[in-house]
Structure 1
């Protein structure tokens, strides 16, 4: 444990983004230290504000075994009523990596809403490629997702 604490301190000191610490062994991308889904960003704000907005601790909800944060009570209520709409698709994993059969945690700062669904990406280049042809990526990612999902811890 001391080794991992030291490693985390070193990586933090050299500026590794917190999203890189998101676990890739869960059905929903969750920060292993905070326990928050999608790094505490409000999933509803992507739709209502067209922005990646941090949620607040006083507006939390548990869904799919993880804690989600929201910027206000209205967003929390919308998510609780329809998590399948507002939650990131593929559990927050990058759909461009799913096409390759790999589970790579999406970064909530790189996102696209396509077909009224939220998708998160590991890199800007992945987001841009997806945005140019979402139908192509989604067809392949949806075919691969069940197999990849089976390899993730429940």
Structure 2
């Protein structure tokens, strides 16, 4: 009986931790109507080296964050290892996270893959932060990693 009670307690505790983590992700990630990357397919950045709009038909939830994938094959890949495909810094602009510790919107079509990680950037007619990132990537990445850890609590 004690083993059953202990097991139930562990399961309840795990569910509570998972729900708390999901709530943090939903609060801190860059979401538009609950969807990450403005509906772009995170796997396509890696598989096709381009930004591809996802389809609601192939939506998945990763710890509370919803992603749209563009195909059943990409959905399967994402489900196998979603952390491999998620954008860094919750999908916020990598340059801004490193330079100013700010959560800045992104242009999902402005991206870079570095060491198997997806980085997204703000891009307007007059400001492409990917260019700024490229000028001092190592320093900005180190600062962004640190800043994200402080923000994502």
Q: Secondary structure at the match of 2:110?
A: strand
User: TM-score, normalised on structure 1?
Assistant: 0.74
CA RMSD between the two structures: 1.6
Cα-to-partner distance string for 1:38-82 (whole Å, 9 max, x where unaligned): 111000000011110011121111113122111111111111111
Q: Counterparts of 1:24-103 in structure 2 under 5 Å?
A: 26-32=27-33, 35-99=34-98, 100-103=100-103
Structure showing the higher helix proportion among its residues: 2
- Confirm or deny: 8 A CA contact 1:112 1:131 kept in the other structure: no
Measure the CA separation in 2 of the matches of 1:101 and 1:28.
Answer: 14
Number of residue pairs matched?
Answer: 124
**Counterpart residue number, 1:128:** 131
Counterpart check, 1:147 vs 2:150: yes
Unaligned runs of 5+ in 1: 1-24
Unaligned runs of 5+ in 2: 1-25
Look at both structures and tell me which one has the larger radius of gyration over its CA atoms.
2
Q: Which stretches of structure 1, 4 residues or longer, exceed 6 Å deviation after superposition?
A: none
**Counterpart residue number, 1:14:** none
